[in-house]
């Protein structure tokens, strides 16, 4: 399953924040952003039984810069 547009947008914002924290060598910020991503994933999974939680979490940390 692929992410919907709104889910992709959320993942992109979280990925950008996670990448910034990583480049600043801020592990506490990285963990906080991952926690926020997991919270979003929990809410999205509750709203859509077909939502792929793992795909969403991976999308928030893959750091593909364009």
Burial 6-23 (b: 16+ CB within 10 A, else e): ebeebbeebbebbbebee
- For position 32, what pLDDT does the model report? 97
Determine what percent of the chain is predicted with pLDDT higher than 70: 94
Residue 3 pLDDT: 85
Q: Evaluate if residue 35 carries a pLDDT over 50.
A: yes
Weakest mean pLDDT among 2-6, 39-43, 61-65: 61-65
Residue entry with tokens 């793992």: 54
pLDDT at 62 over 80: yes
Q: What is the mean pLDDT of residues 26-36?
A: 96
Q: Is 25 left (phi over 0), alpha (psi -120 to 50) or beta?
A: left
What is the arithmetic mean of pLDDT over 9-34? 95
């Amino acid at each position: 399953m692929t992410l919907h547009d709104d889910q992709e947008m959320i993942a992109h914002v979280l990925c950008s924040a996670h990448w910034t924290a990583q480049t600043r060598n801020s592990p506490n910020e990285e963990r906080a952003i991952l926690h926020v991503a997991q919270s979003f994933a929990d809410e999205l999974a509750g709203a859509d039984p077909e939502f792929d939680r793992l795909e969403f979490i991976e999308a928030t940390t893959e750091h593909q810069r364009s």
